[in-house]
Structure 1
Amino acid sequence: MKLLLSLIAVLSFYLVDKSPSTHVAVPEAVTEKDQIQTGAEQTDKYLPYLRGKRVAILANQTSIIGKTHLVDSLHRLGINIVKVFGPEHGFRGNASAGTAVADEADQATGIPIVSLYGRKNKPTKEDLADVDILIYDLQDVGCRFYTNINALARLMEACHENGKELLILDRPNPNGYLIDGPILDMRFRSGIGMFPLPMSHGLTVGEFAQMANGEGWLTNKVKCNLRIIKVANYHHDMPYDLPVSPSPNLNTQQAVMLYPSTCLFEGTYLNHGRGTYFPFTVLGSPELKGKFEFSFTPTGIKGMAETPLFMNQVCYGLDLRNYDIEQLRQKKQINLQWVMELYKASPHKEKFFDSSLSKEMGVIERLVGSGLFRQQIIDGKSEKEIRASWEPGLSQYKAMRKQYLLYP
């Protein structure tokens, strides 16, 4: 089997574009009947390019070829992987959200793992001294406040600073159909929002990288030398079920699809399922007893939420585990009604936007990306009025986005 793969790789070497340009490996015409192939799965398009190079990879548990981790696959195929960089949740995806991750050696391969979610958030000159090319392969979920694109941008900057090429193995965006929310007001720039994107941006990571380059979003407006392996047989409106959970608290496809809407509740004094095995699909608070029939009780769960809000208290609210996602797909809009409904039902409205996650006010502004949203909900503004305040920024973004699409 190894011999066969090697022969295929050698033959394909002469078919692949070896120039260091941004675009490479453009698939043929896309049809719905064809099976989606991630960038990582199309090994014939990048294995020859990696031969003889010292390779570093930013990866996590979603970095797979079939059912095997990308690092394990490339290691077995003889690619010289000199180190792995680990993002939030760690290289194998077993760290809780927000928990610092330490450097270590991978138990399966012995390859050194350098954490980019602890003492530092991007590779140093020393980290890259023995590296010829970096690979980025993380599954994203298409939201500004999901931190993988932040890690990508910092990796792009490190590549520019150290004269390295970045190979992106692109993956579908499960929320690729959705482009919605206000453009981030940069006054609220933070670790959960670094770029002037809407809440749900409708980009793959490859497209985001092109946009970050083209719009001058990297520090000092530098540009990274990119090589992108596109997803085959894919367009943005196609449903895509993730084969691996992208993070411990996005552990179901329902959670992934609801995330653009229910992540807003991280900026409220409600539990959004942390401390249960169905986070981002239930919403509630003990204070809503008598207002809703559905209830759940958060508990400490190692690796997910060890001290959740309202731990061991019965919470009452909304059960969205069976919500028809097709309604979101048809409207192509984030659901604001859940925030509006639960705010109206809250008996202590002065606490509603006091997020217990950070122990400070302002989380909702950083999540939504606007200084208006909190007061709009308090004032009882209609959804139409709230959406009107997102313009013309959202429409301008949609027009700009077209320049960078790999999957028009």
Structure 2
Amino acid sequence: LPVISLYGGSKKPKPADLSDVDVLIFDLQDVGVRFYTYISTMHYVMEACAENNKPLIILDRPNPNGFYVDGPVLDTAYRSFVGMHPVPLVHGMTIGEFAQMINGEGWLKGKIQCNLTVIPCKGYTHSMTTALPVRPSPNLPNHLSILLYPSLGLFEGTVVSVGRGTDYPFQVFGFPNFPDKGFRYIPVEKRGASLNPPYKGKPVYGIDLRDYSVNYFLDRREIILDWLIYSYNNYPEKDKFFNNFFNLLAGTSVLRQQIENGLTPSEIRATWQPALEQFKLLRKKYLLYPDFE
């Protein structure tokens, strides 16, 4: 079969020429977070297959963050390539399950349907988290970074560094003017991962999260807002903490407003619950594997 090059970064992929293709196979390792753009790429692959009357086979893979559902549900006013679908920030679905939802809910352009076949995983359940045999991308180098990604990814819409340009991206966070609590790092260029990381060459003071265990995340099963709120509270120029990317990552303008207004993590989480309960009911229609309790 010919290989179709698909870009899963921060931009919409260019249309592929499917004229010589009999069937398209999609095989990418997702991490179960709405702003991780492999599911956005998959959306456009499904759309291209539907428009060209080509069948799509998805080789499903475990979702390492598939053991919970959490976060704000995307407001479609903030739809972008880092958030295309009205789902929570952590959706708790494999790519195969998510593709079935895209088809079933009519989210493709014009509600067209993709001729979809999902090849399921063996032995997977949503109660587990799976250490991946390969890195899904250069800046998610290990299991801990993937488990931290739903919480730390929001920092990319702020002034805070998440360790890009170090050997431990998405396992630390900091800022040059944060309080010195005994941990600092200096971002440098990393070929193939971070060519121009934030604060390159400057000492960054922050928090080291590398001692957190897998069981910590399995026990909490939630996005950890404490670190984001801590960083906002310790940043002197509050009006410059967030950038325009934050609302696209969050999928809403409300989360930023809540943090600026001083709401606690529990108060913020309470506002998510009605939409999360509705999504969980929708999600059950498309699950291929036993769910978490």
User: Same fold per TM (> 0.5)?
Assistant: yes
**Matched residue type, 1:389:** T
Identical aligned residues as a percent: 48
SS at structure 2 position matched to 1:159: helix
Q: Greater CA radius of gyration, 1 or 2?
A: 1
CA distance in 2, matches of 1:151, 1:136: 10
Equivalent residue for 2:77, pick from 187, 190, 204: 187
1:325-371 deviation digits (Å, cap 9, x = unpaired): 322211211100111111112222222113xxxxxx2x111111121
CA contact (8 A) 2:6 2:41 kept: no
- Distance in 1, matches of 2:109 and 2:185, equals 44
Q: Which amino acid aligns with 1:344?
A: N
SS at match of 1:376: helix
Choose between structure 1 and 2 for higher RCO, CA contacts under 8 A separated by at least 6 residues. 2
- CA offsets 1:112-146 (integer angstroms, 9 cap, x no match): xxxx84xx1x32xxx21111111000000000001
Q: Partner amino acid for 2:285?
A: Q
The letter for the 2-side match of 1:147 is T
Q: Per-residue CA shift, 1:187-236, capped at 9, x if unaligned?
A: 11111100001001100011001000111111111111111111011101
1:366-385, aligned counterparts within 5 Å?
366-385=248-267
Deviation at 1:246, TM superposition (A): 0.3
1:87 CA displacement: 2.4
Aligned ranges for residues 7-406 of structure 1 at < 5 Å?
81-88=1-8, 98=10, 117=13, 120=14, 122-123=15-16, 127-290=17-180, 292-354=181-243, 361=244, 363-406=245-288
Query: What amino acid is the match of 1:404?
Result: Y
**Amino acid of the structure 2 residue aligned with 1:87:** Y
Q: Residues 245-282 of structure 1, C-alpha deviation per residue, up to 9 Å, x if partnerless?
A: 00011111111111011101101101111111211111
- For the residue of structure 2 that corresponds to 1:199, the secondary structure is strand
Q: Is the 8 A contact 1:184 1:368 kept in 2?
A: yes
Contact 2:158 2:242 survives alignment (8 Å): yes
**2:223 is matched by which residue type in structure 1?**
I
Secondary structure, aligned partner of 1:391: helix
Equivalent residues of 1:174, 1:240 under 8 A apart: yes
Distance 2:238 2:202 in 1: 20
Q: Distance in 2 between matches of 1:384 and 1:276?
A: 32
Gap regions ≥5 residues in structure 2: none
Paired amino acid for 2:252: S
Question: 1:406 and 1:142 mapped to 2: Cα distance?
Answer: 15
Contact conserved, 1:289 with 1:315, CA < 8 A, in 2?
A: no
Separation of aligned partners in 2, 1:270 and 1:330: 27
Shift of 1:312: 0.6
**What's the TM-score, normalizing by structure 1?**
0.69
List 4+ stretches of structure 1 deviating above 6 A: none
Using the size of structure 2 for normalisation, the TM-score is: 0.95
8 Å contact kept, 1:189–1:366: yes
Question: CA RMSD of the aligned region, Å?
Answer: 1.4
